[in-house]
Amino acid sequence: MQQPGTNAAYARTAMRTGSAYLRIVAGEARGVRLAPVPEGVRPTADRVREALFNSLGQFFDGGEVLDLYAGTGALGIEALSRGYERATFVEKNRRAAAVIRENLGRTRLTDRAEVVRGDVRGEVERLAREGREYRLIFADPPYRIAESEIGEVLPLLMALLAPGGRVVVESGGPLGAQQAESAKGVSRRYGGTTVTIFERPEPTMHVAICPGSFDPVTSGHLDVISRASALFDHVVVAVGSNVRKKTSKLPADDRARLIEKVAKPLQNVSVEIMEGLLVDFAREQGARVAVKGLRAGSDFEAEFQQAQLNRTLYADFETVFIMAAPEHSFLSSSAVREIASLGGSVKGLVPDEILETVQSFYYEPPMRSGNGEK
């Protein structure tokens, strides 16, 4: 029997998450509807989970998951559905722990999970004493206690990570320097939720920024991004918001989605909206390198000047240039926009996955006069 007020609280939660209920997004339990969210629990929305696992990797080949402040258990269950072997859920609230067990039953994953009721810090210390290791750790504390909790717990979580493992922290805003001083992470914002992904500090993770307006992303852009992903541990494609130029036909969010679509096979590439200075964005992402594509010698003069200015603002910041492939040396976003605006075909100039979208978005029908003539 539901507790009084549960339906109202669940309705409020549904409005925040953008759906009437939570479902498992992918894997063997794909589409399974989860139990109503208990009052006082803030679940990770389906769209945030989908975006998060797009960043982490779609599917996995075993390993253990630790889901802290587990709430509904949706994150850990999603990981089990996508291929993790076992999961441990830590949740202090009795009602939430019961919901986790119900959700494991609904997804038929009970035999691969352990639900522990207890305080997160105490349970993490116990797991560390037992020598447990996890390939993936979720920590989603209530936002009101996130600042004090994460700074204390994060060093312990890093000690629980298996080689190649990652810690995923959800918060209401970017983690401060003191909160995350024991590790460096990459943050991504999804509406009102900030997700920070930490990896084991050794070996050092080399992060590069690939900045641009990408209006739209072209086959040449994708070639440079792909080649950069082979050189660096992680590449962040930074989509400029163009708040000063105001010339883009597509908002930065739409341009970012197009890049996410074509770069989906590149598992170490993420896409972010960049506002302000490139060097400030690079510091936020823990990056010291910018990757730029060069089509011809004429490009180098402007890029050289920009690289020198960036080093003046950020002394440790370097710029790496990747030469355009010969078949893309003539290609630019402005040329694609002009061709598409006049109804010409841009096949081969942009990735096939977004061809129809680009043709539709950038096409400008001819103006007609009042008497019906062009």
Instruction: Supply the residues annotated as catalytic.
Output: 221, 245, 295, 333
Q: Which of 11, 8, 150, 7 is nearest to 69 (CA)?
A: 150
Q: Which two tokens stand for residue 223?
A: 């070639």
Angle between helices 94-106 and 74-81 (to 10 degrees): 20
Angle between helices 297-313 and 278-285 (to 10 degrees): 70
CA dihedral (246, 247, 252, 254) in degrees, to 10, reads 140
Phi first, then psi, for residue 13 (nearest 5°) are: -60, -40
Quick check: 120 and 92 in contact, CB under 8 A? yes
Residue with tokens 């970017």: 174
CA distances from residue 52 to 67, 164, 169, 255 in whole angstroms, order as listed: 14, 17, 11, 19
**In this structure, which amino acid lies at residue 67?**
D
CA distances from residue 207 to 89, 164, 210, 228, 320 in whole angstroms, order as listed: 31, 16, 10, 10, 12
Question: What are the residues whose beta carbons fall under 8 Å from the beta carbon of 94, sequence distance 6 or more?
Answer: 117
- Residue 38 preceded by cis peptide, ω within 30: no
- Residue 265 preceded by cis peptide, ω within 30: no
- Is residue 355 helix, strand or coil? helix
